[in-house]
Every structure is written in structure tokens, then in C-alpha cells.
Amino acid sequence: MNEYDFVKENLKRILFEVGEAKAKYRSSDEKIEVMAVTKTVAPEIVNIAIENGITLLGENRVQEYLGKRDSYDKSARVDFIGHLQTNKVKYIIDSISVIQSVDSLRLAEEINRQSEKIGRVTDVYVEVNIGGEESKSGILPEETEEFIHKMSEYSNIRVCGMMTIPPKTDIEKNFSKMRQLFIDIRGKNIDNNNVCVLSMGMSADYTAAIKHGSNLVRIGSGLFGARKYMEG
């Protein structure tokens, strides 16, 4: 036994459960991506997840990410999923694959500006505050369509999906509401955008999220164990 075998075991269990939920609720041609959320986890442990099949990492904090990124196995893509301050976009723009947490026009504008500077078109997801919670960032559900319309003006960003962290209560109701919003918006084929990823579900609720249409689940503690310090 190796001291990090628990990551391998957890991943095996998660992939099995994702497969079961998919078989039960979804069609066989759909793909569901499993992201490893790395906050507070040492890069050598993250790399064990990559060695065992993880191809997507999720980062919450710019500072922590910058300190760890050179140690990550380069075969995995890295998305940003945390609240992103406008003045920090420039530090991550060249190495992040998708920014999943676009929650304001100001942030979108800055991602567009920094992307233009380095000559890339950055894929982003709109973070939706599906429960309309005061304490949470994200675009309100009723404002999401208009927000994505505005994104069409930015030629260096492309909206490819929607992300949410639902309230802790009424989880399935909120997942279901999110799926409906996703379907409605995807059906509108808004210019220059191709909304096809629904990023929802974490360690406690990923099978329910898959039941309700998620095609990207973000797993932290279920894979790496409980985090040792408070999240900021």
C-alpha cells in the first residue's frame, strides 16, 4: 500500500458512480467530464489523480494556482472555478483553459481585453446564482440570457457553458431549474456563443446533478479527502 492509494480508490468509486448515474439517467452518447478540484491539495497528490485518469483540474484561488501550476502533470487541462478579481485575470489568462466563473460584465470585459492582448479567444462559462442567494456571486437566472447576449460583443471570449453552485437546500429543485435554463438558452443559439457545457454537481451531489443534466461534475473532498483549512 502506498500512502496516496486513497486517491486511486476514491477516483475508482467516483468514476463507477458517474457511470452508473449516466447509465440510469442519460443517453449512451453523452459525455460527462469529471473535474478534480484541487484547492488545498498538494500538487503531488493532484498528479496521482491525473495518473489515474483525471484530465481536468479546477482552481479556486489565483495565488495558490500560480504556486502549484508548474508542478502539475501537463497532461491535464486546468479551468478556473473560483471568484476571480478583475485585476488578477492577467496572471492566469495564458495558462487557464476555461474560466467557469464569469459573474459580471466587468470581469468579462477584462478577460476579453487580456485575451486580445495575447491573441487568444478564451472559452468561458457564465456562473449562475440559481438560488438567487444574496451571499453568492453569479448572474441571476432571469438575467442570464441578456448577459450572454452582451457577451457576443466581445470577440475574444466565447460562452461555452453555464456553471452553478446551488443552495444547500432544495438541491434537486435547483438542479432541475438550472437544466431548464440551460436548455432554454442553448436553444436560442446566441451569436458567437455555443453553450454546451452544464457544470454542476460536487462531492455531495454529483449523481443528482447528472440526473438533472450536468455534463461536468466538480469533485474536491470526495476525491482528495476533507480539506484541512477553511475556504476563503
Ligand X SMILES: *Cc1c(COP(=O)(O)O)cnc(C)c1O
If one asks whether residue 221 binds ligand X (CB under 6 A), the answer comes out as: yes
Query: In the set 131, 141, 161, 220, which binds ligand X (CB under 6 A)?
Result: 220
The nearer residue to ligand X, 156 or 203, going by C-beta atoms, is: 203
The nearer residue to ligand X, 119 or 232, going by C-beta atoms, is: 232
If one asks whether residue 60 binds ligand X (CB under 6 A), the answer comes out as: yes
- Taking the C-alpha atoms of residue 53 and residue 147, their distance in angstroms, rounded to an integer, is 35
* Strand, coil or helix: 190: coil
**Stretch touching ligand X by CB under 6 A, among 130-138, 144-152, 172-180, 212-220:** 212-220
Which candidate, 32, 30, 28, places its Cα nearest to that of 18?
Answer: 32
Which candidate, 216, 191, 201, 224, places its Cα nearest to that of 97?
Answer: 216
The nearer residue to ligand X, 213 or 220, going by C-beta atoms, is: 220
Residues 120-179 that bind ligand X (CB under 6 A): 165
The nearer residue to ligand X, 7 or 219, going by C-beta atoms, is: 219
The nearer residue to ligand X, 80 or 154, going by C-beta atoms, is: 80
We find the least distance from the C-beta atom of residue 65 to ligand X, in angstroms, to be: 13
Contacts 24+ apart (CB under 8 A), 78-81: 79/35, 81/35, 81/37, 81/163, 81/199, 81/218
Question: 37-65: string of b/e by CB count within 10 Å (b at 16+)?
Answer: bbbbbebebbbbbbeeebebbbbbbbebb
* Strand, coil or helix: 130: coil
If one asks whether residue 41 binds ligand X (CB under 6 A), the answer comes out as: no
**Stretch touching ligand X by CB under 6 A, among 6-14, 44-52, 85-93, 216-224:** 216-224
Query: In the set 36, 78, 81, 84, which binds ligand X (CB under 6 A)?
Result: 81
Locate 26 and state its grid cell: 442519460
We find the least distance from the C-beta atom of residue 149 to ligand X, in angstroms, to be: 25
Query: In the set 77, 167, 202, 225, which binds ligand X (CB under 6 A)?
Result: 202
List residues bridging with 127 in a β-sheet. Answer: 163
- Taking the C-alpha atoms of residue 198 and residue 206, their distance in angstroms, rounded to an integer, is 12
- Taking the C-alpha atoms of residue 164 and residue 212, their distance in angstroms, rounded to an integer, is 13
**Stretch touching ligand X by CB under 6 A, among 8-16, 118-126, 132-140, 196-204:** 196-204
Q: Which residue is nearest to ligand X (CB)?
A: 220
Contacting residues toward ligand X, per CB under 6 A: 37, 39, 60, 81-82, 165, 202-204, 218-222
